[in-house]
Amino acid sequence: MLWSIWKHRKNKVWTKVVESIQQIVDRAETFLNSWKNVQEVRNRGPLNNLQSETAKWTKPVGGRFKCKC
């Protein structure tokens, strides 16, 4: 919420944009929900451990190079 209030103040001072209280609250809620979603994804870990375990490196054929990108 404090970040959204700070953003409102910055917009008002620098760009002369005045927002309603509802806009400030909505932005704070959106930001919080986005943050929560990212935390959930981060806590889940890798989606498919089997794929990374089954992928094996193989030597390239003669005259070729492999690049892990």
Instruction: Tally the domains of the chain.
Output: 1
Describe the chain by its helix, strand, coil percentages, rounded to 5: 65, 0, 35
Residue 4 inside a domain? The answer is yes
Amino acid occupying residue 61: V
- Asked if the structure places residue 22 within a domain, the reply is yes
**To the nearest whole percent, how much of the chain has pLDDT over 70?**
83
- Residues spanned by the domain of 9: 1-38
Q: Is 60 contained in some domain?
A: no
What are 34-66's pLDDT values in tens digits? 999 999 888 887 655 555 556 777 888 888 877
Asked whether residue 18 is assigned to any structural domain, the reply reads yes
- Res 21: pLDDT: 95
- Domain annotation covers residue 48: no
Residue owning tokens 């929560």: 36
User: Does residue 58 lie within any of the structural domains?
Assistant: no
Place of tokens 């890798």: 46
In-domain check, residue 56: no
